[in-house]
Structure 1
């Protein structure tokens, strides 16, 4: 069985200023804080002799590879990202960075912010602009209704609010 995994399709290049700050902070933390700590632990573990049975050495080296891989990814990704820090001219439509409140057929409301794929987090209500739901919302205006094909079947949503600042 092969370990090969095809590369992920590239996500959109757009990111909010907050998202860029988070990625830069993660890169700084990995490179300046975590990597030196793990390197020191691996160095101490290497002094203990037989490395083939030394868990601190083996898992430390594994963690170093993970850190280096993430650092390489973040460095390359940050070079190609485009920070979107301007509001759109037409704030009555759903575009990147908008907080959108949706209402389903039962009257339940959900609110999401449309962000780049590098910063999405459903627990914080941040939805990637590459996701099917965000794609269905983009370009819509207030009170527009649209159908969304989800794993649960077709769902109908109405856009009840669009904001370009954080909701209270």
Structure 2
């Protein structure tokens, strides 16, 4: 039992992190990830490399806080660059409207009404572009899975932490994209 990265054991069959994630992403999400990768590669990494070089030139590295901090930060940035490069290669960009825009599919903006009459607006996006504060949910989420393929005025029942929740679909729309696939 060595190492700092030791975590508690989780049953792989019950661990939600082991569930396969879809490799779908919207065109806007892919552009955002490419922008982050570009910024890290062209701006942040060279700046950190220069800081590490300057700190290393000061002499003894064992007690040099600048060197230690910047080296850790540089390694973190390099790891993020490697992750984004691999992730962008495996993602499939969905940049077209579905053939039937009257149904809920990937990329849809959906308005739901719950049992109390409250309206919930959400968007179904890829795992890499979720924004909980804007209610952009992953296509892999239970609510999104329940919504896929449904039409206007359909009722959807989902198991929620507080019990079953039933929603009525009140509107479906899609962002501007190219013609249907």
Question: TM (normalized to structure 2)?
Answer: 0.85
Gaps of 5+ in 2: 177-181
Quote the residue 1:136 is aligned against.
146
Aligned residues: 166
Question: TM (normalized to structure 1)?
Answer: 0.91
Moved more, 124-133 or 17-26: 124-133
Cα distance in 2 between the residues matched to 1:137 and 1:59: 46
Quote the residue 2:85 is aligned against.
75
- Map 1:32-111; keep pairs closer than 5 Å: 32-111=42-121
Cα distance in 1 between the residues matched to 2:146 and 2:65: 49
Gaps of 5+ in 1: none
CA shift, 1:45, in A, is: 1.1
Cα distance in 2 between the residues matched to 1:9 and 1:42: 39
Alpha-carbon RMSD across the aligned residues, in angstroms, is 1.8
CA shift, 1:132, in A, is: 1.3
Q: Which portions of structure 1, spanning 4 or more consecutive aligned residues, are displaced by more than 4 angstroms?
A: 4-10
Indicate yes or no: 2:34 matched with 1:24: yes
Indicate yes or no: 2:164 matched with 1:150: no
Deviations 1:78-135 (A, max 9, x none): 1111111111111111000100001111011111111111111112221110111111
